Structure 1
Amino acid sequence: MSNIKIAALITVKPEYTAELAVQFKELVRASRAEEGNISYDLHQEIGNPNRFVFFENWASQVAVDSHNASAHFQNFVQAIDGKTDALEIVLLNDVSI
């Protein structure tokens, strides 16, 4: 069974960029400590500081489900409510091999 890879693209309302950048970094720290997490990286778009991209790699769907149910992820969902202009979640298969 292959890993579950996720790209999450979030465009933050400009007035919340600094606040949510802190929240995003906390989410990364907590998510990296989860069982089943292989990698969890945060990026900020060059030229558009309001756009963030998470790249996640999980060992299984069970790990993803556990992450989505975790207190830190649920806190993140609440923290961004009403503070974003766009949110896109993309589930990926690695076809490079």
Structure 2
Amino acid sequence: MQIDKDTLHKIAHLARLEVKPEEEAPLLKSLESVLSWMEQLDELDTTDVAPLTHISAEINVMREDVVGNHLPREQALVNAPSQDGTYFRVPKVIE
């Protein structure tokens, strides 16, 4: 499939890309290469292939939520630039 410079600029605009004039030729060649590969894939017979909805059959594989060692509050607040004995003090950001 052939792509002209106008189509390249439309694609770049939609993708919010700035394409410099010296980048046009390599991009056109690259896009044509990708599209020709897609045309080859389009020739495959996929009538008996079920649609893929998930890449993996795994569901919510997560680690156990186990309480471990933690830093005591006093030690965590030692190097704080500003604290009130219980919490870190930070500048107000919402009025």
Q: What is the TM-score when the length of structure 2 is the normalising length?
A: 0.26
Query: Based on CA coordinates, which of the two structures has the bigger radius of gyration?
Result: 2
Q: If each structure's strand is expressed as a fraction of its own residues, which one has the higher value?
A: 1
More RCO (CA 8 Å, sep 6+): 1
